[in-house]
Amino acid sequence: CRTDWGFSQIEIIPCKICGDKSSGIHYGVITCEGCKGFFRRSQQSNAAYSCPRQKNCLIDRTSRNRCQHCRLQKCLAVGMSRDAVKFGRMSKKQRDSLYAEVQKHRLQQAQRDHQQQPGELHDDLSGYMDGHTPDGSKPDSAVSSFYLDIQPSPDQSGLDINGIKPEPICDFAPGSGFFPYCSFTNGETSPTVSMAELEHLAQNISKSHMETCQYLREELQQMTWQAFLQEEMESYQTKPREVMWQLCAIKITEAIQYVVEFAKRIDGFMELCQNDQIVLLKAGSLEVVFVRMCRAFDSQNNTVYFDGKYAGPDVFKSLGCDDLISSVFEFGKNLCSMHLSEDEIALFSAFVLMSADRSWLQEKVKVEKLQQKIQLALQHVLQKNHREDGILTKLICKVSTLRALCSRHTEKLTAFKAIYPDIVRAHFPPLYKELFGSDFEQSMPVDG
């Protein structure tokens, strides 16, 4: 039932399941597209989910994929039902209640906007990026426009790394070649860490990874048979170039939001200075998206999960970037062939993100030490998983490929922006423009 005040305004109310941006009323409840799709699939398959924990998992935007059982129970608890789609009208009481809730959220939004000085904040897609330092002052850095909300995530690990007493067992000397993507400076030595500390860090990073994946691996594997039909593929191929670019920019931005949350949960990241957090995310977030892509890659059919189904390279033809798409698929296929576990993907992602050789880092040594610990934790997990000799070297060699892919993406975006500047300015997600805009390219080269 559409009212005078506009049905679209319902979207100001966040998803009742996970708190993400809602897209309307689905199955009788205001939800996002993700929870709508999850509930639909659960009803179609009559799935019997089980909870590996205590059946009281927190369900929010970043954790919603961790436990299907608790997510479904929350869907049912707030009133989602297949029967709800049969009833197209709302009672006056329901309309009035909905209107009151919309007004409440509009008031809250107005209050937030009033507190923010015009021009000081960039638009953002998920509330992660914020234009103030904790004391309210403007940041003083080369990348002051891109700011993280530095409050710790609500579902942080309760482990206390300060309570671990180091028992030195690993001590790698600088210059030994063990850290090919770490440059030691100021005479600092590489970290001496205990097995307990490595185990803790590995667990923290793995937990952070699992809590911030867009999709569970099991869900992705169940959907591999859902490939685009010929007519669906042709509809993508015939989209105007600018429309397909915008769609891909949105999908990349969605994935990057999860990478930002992943970074915030890694032990040590939030202790880095604000400038360095921003530098690392600007330079490395897309690289991590490409690493995570191997989870959603079907090497047998050379397809990747995109926009609801598995897509081959031809789906992206209208982008006009065949060489880039081919390279991305080749990277996905190669990384997929290594059969990495979730723990290994998590630690490699963290290693890629905490690259100490990025330009514009202010506390380079601090980042180096964190990356070195992550590499030791990655080596520890690889050994524990009885992986073959040389796999760590193979993984680290992938870093140069990742950087080449991201560099090529920037080149393609620059060329596209030269032809369609208004499309980029008006229709691309703000976070995407902030990460890959030309001002960033000029002031902060990704490779140092």
**Is the pTM here over 0.85, yes or no?**
no
- Cβ distance 288 to 353 under 8 Å? yes
**What whole-number distance in Å separates Cα of residue 29 and Cα of residue 32?**
10
Tell the CATH topology of 24-94: Erythroid Transcription Factor GATA-1; Chain A (3.30.50)
The rounded distance, in Å, linking the Cα atoms of 276 and 367 is: 8
**What Å distances lie between residue 332 and 55, 216, 336, CA to CA?**
35, 18, 6
Q: Domain ranges in the chain? A: 24-94, 195-436
Give the pLDDT score at 112.
Answer: 56
448 residues of the chain, pLDDT tens digit each: 333 444 456 777 889 999 888 888 888 888 998 999 899 888 887 778 888 888 888 898 888 888 889 999 999 988 888 776 544 455 566 666 666 667 666 666 655 554 443 333 233 323 343 432 223 333 333 333 333 333 333 333 232 223 323 333 333 333 333 444 433 333 344 457 788 999 999 999 999 999 899 888 888 888 888 899 999 999 999 999 999 999 999 999 999 999 999 999 999 999 999 999 999 999 999 999 999 999 999 999 999 999 989 999 999 999 999 999 999 999 999 999 999 999 999 999 999 999 999 999 999 999 999 999 999 999 999 999 999 989 999 999 999 999 999 999 999 999 999 999 999 999 999 999 989 875 433 333 333 3
Residues 6+ apart with CB under 8 A from 91: none
The answer to whether 416 and 243 have CB atoms below 8 angstroms apart is no
User: What's the angle, vertex CA 263, arms to CA 345 and CA 15, rounded to 5?
Assistant: 100
Question: Could you tell me the fold of the domain covering 195-436?
Answer: Retinoid X Receptor (1.10.565)
